[in-house]
A and B are shown apart, each in its own frame.
Chain A
C-alpha cells in the first residue's frame, strides 16, 4: 500500500542558486498528486528531492524535512533504502537496452540479491500485468530486448521495472511527454489503477493530464508552491490569481 509524504520547509539549491523556497506539502497516501507549473518553476527539482536524486548533481543540496511514511528521507536513511520504497519513472523511457524484457523488470530485484527464479517469474509477471504490458510481451519475455518495444511500451516497461521492487510511492516526471495520445491514454489509465496500491506524484506540463489523473494538484512558480488543493478546485476556481492565470493560459 502507498504511504503519505510530508514535506516541511524544503529548500533546494544548485550551488548558490536557490531553486526551491520553503515548500510545505502533505501528499495523501494512495492518491495521485500532480505538480504543474511553467518550465523552470522547480517542480522536477521538487520531485527529485523526494528520492534524493537532487543531491546527485554536483553542488546541489537540500534543506528541510521530507518524510515518506515512517521514513525520514534526509535523516539517517540511505539512498538505496529509500529507492526501494520510492520508484521513479522519467520523461524519456530508459529501459536497459541490452537486457531482455524480463531482465529489465527483474533488474532491481536482482540488484538487491533476489535470486529465487520462481518468485522472480511471479514478480515479473505481476509487475507487467500492473503496468498493462503483460499481454503484449508475455510471448517474448526473454527473446526481445527492452529497446525493441515502442515508446509507449518502453514507458510501461519502465513502470513495471519501478513496480517490481514493490515501492510505496511512485514518482513520475513527465511520463507521457514523449508519447503519442494513444500511449498517453494507456499510461493515464494505468495511473488511475495504480493509485489503489501506490501513492503517485506526477510532474506534468499537460494541464489536462493533471486534471484527468490527479485528485490533488500543486502549482509551482519561481521555486515556490503557490497553491495546493483538490484538482477540481485548481481547475475551476483557484484561490490565487497566479494559478488562475497559469491554468487559463494567460502565461507560461
Chain B
C-alpha cells in the first residue's frame, strides 16, 4: 500500500470538497441576494471569490504534484483528471455567482417591479444540481451523477421560458427593460451554473466508471461495470 500517495489523494479529495462548499455557498448567497434584494449578501459573494480562486490554484498544484511524482494509474488517474476538471468547473460556478451578485447590485438601485419569472424556483433547482453533483463526488456514485444530468433539461426549459416571458415584458412595458434584462441575465447565469453541475457529474461518471458521457454520449456507457472479484 502506498501510504503517502493515499494521503495525497485524500488531501486532494478534501480540498475539492472544501472548494465545492465555497462554490455552492456562493450560488446560494447570490440567489438569496436576488430574492431578498440584499446588498450585504452580494458583497459576501464578491469577497468569497478570492477564496475560490485560491482554492483552485491549490488543488491544481497538488494534482500536478501527484501526477509528476506518483504516476497514478487506472481509477487513481481517472480521479485526478476528474478532480482537475471539476476544479475548473467549480471556479466558473464561483464566477457565475459573482455575475449574479453584480446583477442584483444593479437591480437594487432600480425600483422593484413584478417580473413574470420565478428566479427563486430556478435557483432552487440549480442549487440542488450543484449539491447533488458534489454528493455524487463525495460518495463516488455514478447513479447520483446521472440523475443530475437528467435535471439539466428542466433548467434549460426554465431559462427558455424566462427568456420568452421577459422579452415579452420588455416589449409591453419598456420602462422595466433594465430590471427585466437583469433578471434575464441572472436566469442565464443560473443556467450556466447548471451546465457546470452537469460537467461535474460527467466527470464523476468518468472517474467511477471510466465512461465518457460528455456531449450526450450513449447512456448505455453508464451501465454498471462488470462484476469485480474481491482479492
Shortest beta-carbon distance, A157 to chain B, in Å? 30
Q: What residues on B are CB-neighbors of A236 within 8 Å? A: 73-74, 77-78, 210
Q: A249-B1, A249-B2, A250-B1 are in contact. Are A240 and B229 (CB under 8 A)?
A: yes
B74–A244 CB distance below 8 A? yes
Q: What residues on A are CB-neighbors of B76 within 8 Å? A: 248
> Is A242's beta carbon under 8 Å from chain B?
yes
**For residues 67 through 97 of chain B, which have their beta carbon under 8 Å from a beta carbon of chain A?**
71-78
> Is A208's beta carbon under 8 Å from chain B?
yes
Interface residues of A: mostly helix, strand, loop or mixed? helix
Measured CA separation A243–B225 after assembly (Å):
14
Shortest beta-carbon distance, B216 to chain A, in Å? 21
Measured CA separation A108–B73 after assembly (Å):
41
Q: What residues on B are CB-neighbors of A245 within 8 Å? A: 231
Closest to A239 in B: B226
Measured CA separation A240–B230 after assembly (Å):
9
B73–A241 CB distance below 8 A? no
Measured CA separation A199–B44 after assembly (Å):
64
Closest to A234 in B: B74
Interface residues of B: mostly helix, strand, loop or mixed? loop
> Is B215's beta carbon under 8 Å from chain A?
no
Shortest beta-carbon distance, A50 to chain B, in Å? 27
> Is A235's beta carbon under 8 Å from chain B?
yes
* Number of A positions contacting B (CB below 8 A): 20
Closest to B210 in A: A237
A244–B75 CB distance below 8 A? yes
A251–B1 CB distance below 8 A? yes
Closest to B5 in A: A249
B77–A235 CB distance below 8 A? yes
> Is A28's beta carbon under 8 Å from chain B?
no
Q: A247-B73, A248-B72, A249-B2 are in contact. Are A237 and B78 (CB under 8 A)?
A: yes
Q: A249-B2, A251-B1 are in contact. Are A241 and B74 (CB under 8 A)?
A: no
- The one of A234, A241, A250 in contact with B229, judged by C-beta atoms closer than 8 angstroms, is A241
Q: A248-B74, A248-B75 are in contact. Are A242 and B1 (CB under 8 A)?
A: no
> Is A207's beta carbon under 8 Å from chain B?
yes
B230–A241 CB distance below 8 A? yes
Interface 0/1 of B215-231, CB less than 8 Å to A: 00000000001101111
Closest to A207 in B: B73
Interface 0/1 of A216-252, CB less than 8 Å to B: 0000000000000000001111111111110111110
Measured CA separation A238–B75 after assembly (Å):
9
Shortest beta-carbon distance, A168 to chain B, in Å? 32
- The one of A208, A235, A240, A251 in contact with B228, judged by C-beta atoms closer than 8 angstroms, is A240
Q: What residues on B are CB-neighbors of A237 within 8 Å? A: 74-75, 78, 210
Q: What residues on B are CB-neighbors of A235 within 8 Å? A: 73-74, 77
Q: What residues on B are CB-neighbors of A234 within 8 Å? A: 74
Q: What residues on B are CB-neighbors of A238 within 8 Å? A: 74
Closest to A211 in B: B73
Shortest beta-carbon distance, A223 to chain B, in Å? 15
Shortest beta-carbon distance, A40 to chain B, in Å? 16
Q: What residues on A are CB-neighbors of B1 within 8 Å? A: 249-251
Q: What residues on B are CB-neighbors of A241 within 8 Å? A: 228-231
Q: What residues on B are CB-neighbors of A242 within 8 Å? A: 229, 231
Q: What residues on A are CB-neighbors of B225 within 8 Å? A: 239
Q: 4 closest A-B pairs (Cβ-Cβ)? A: A237-B210, A241-B228, A247-B73, A249-B2
Q: What are 20 A-B pairs with beta-carbon distances under 8 A?
A: A207-B73, A208-B71, A211-B73, A235-B74, A236-B77, A237-B74, A237-B75, A237-B78, A237-B210, A239-B226, A241-B230, A241-B231, A242-B229, A242-B231, A244-B75, A245-B231, A247-B74, A248-B73, A249-B2, A250-B2
